[in-house]
Structure formats: structure tokens, C-alpha cells
Amino acid sequence: MATATLPSLDEVWHWLSQVPDPEIPVLSLVDLGIVREVAWDDDTLVVTVTPTYSGCPATGIINLDIERELNARGVAKVRLERRLSPPWTTDWMSAEGREKLRAYGIAPPVDDTAADGRSLALARRLASGSNLTVACPRCGSAQTEKVSQFGSTACKASYRCLSCLEPFDYFKCI
């Protein structure tokens, strides 16, 4: 493709916005906010990706999916780069992505509620038995309780709705 014109970066972003996350397929990699940058280095497309959690087992699959998608779109040379800093945060999840999560049955992150390791606040919170309010993605009730800090994947916690009684995943703020 030496003489062909390279696809525009807007086009590349659009393609990537159609690549689903392997574990939460209603979200695209762009919705999730893990594609940090796309750029041309001569005729090589450089895609910079940040991991969600350090040990996320989907990282390898995500890289493969990106490469496969771009190859299928006619980009022959793709280079994936990992960027750790700044670390991924759920703040980067698009509004559209959050709505897709809710519709899928996963409560989206409640901003500014990430664990911060401050023990005083923690002990008080535990002593008072209160917790952050996570609305049930099925019935919308705010009467829910945390079952476990970690749900089906590291990025989610397990919750239970006290109104409709359904268990559900909550995408933790980080």
C-alpha cells in the first residue's frame, strides 16, 4: 500500500469504536477509554492502549482484536504500544458507554467513589454500615447492598437489589 493514501485518523477512531471489549461486549474499546492515541509513523499505524487493571487477562485479546480489525480494514502495518501513565480511570468511560452498561444490566461507575485507602474514613463508613448508593440497573431502586468488593472480574463488584431482589454487577470507580 506504498502509494495508496492512508486512512484518516478519524476513520481509524471510528473503526476502533466498533471493536467490542472481549469481556463486556456491549462496550467498545473506545467507550471504555483504553485506546489513548492513534498516530501514523510513516506507513505504520501506532495504537497506544492502556490496561484497565494490571492483571486484566483480556489485555492480550484486546491487542489481538485491534490488530485483526485494522488488518481487515486494509491497514497492513500496525504497532501496539502500552502506556501506563496516566493510569486508566473509569472517568474516561464515555456517557454513551455508561448508558450501554446500564442497559446491559451492569451498574455504571459512580464517579469520585474510588477506594483511596484512607483508613479513618473507611472505618467510619464500615462502622456506620453505610455504603455508596448504586442504583439497580434493572428497576432503578437505590435500595441495594454490596455483596462483595470483587465481582465476575476485577473491575466489578457484586451487588444485590433489595427492591427487586436481583443480583447485579457494579462497574467500580477507579
Judged by the rule CB under 8 A, the positions of this chain that interact with another protein are 51, 53-57, 84-89, 114-117, 119-120, 122-123, 126-127, 147-154, 158, 172, 174
Q: Are 28 and 18 in contact (CB under 8 A)?
A: yes
Gap between the Cα atoms of 31 and 101, Å rounded: 10
**Partner touching 126 among another protein, Zn ion, none, CB below 5 to 8 Å by kind:** another protein
160 binds Zn ion (CB under 5 A): no
Q: Does 38 bind Zn ion (CB under 5 A)?
A: no
Q: Helix, strand, coil: what percent of the chain each, to 5?
A: 30, 20, 50
Residue 99-138 contact track with Zn ion, rule CB under 5 A, x = bound = -------------------------------------x-x
Q: What is the Cα gyration radius of the chain?
A: 19
**To the nearest whole angstrom, how small is the minimum distance from the Cβ of residue 134 to another protein?**
15
Find, among 148, 155, 153, the residue nearest to 131 by Cα.
148
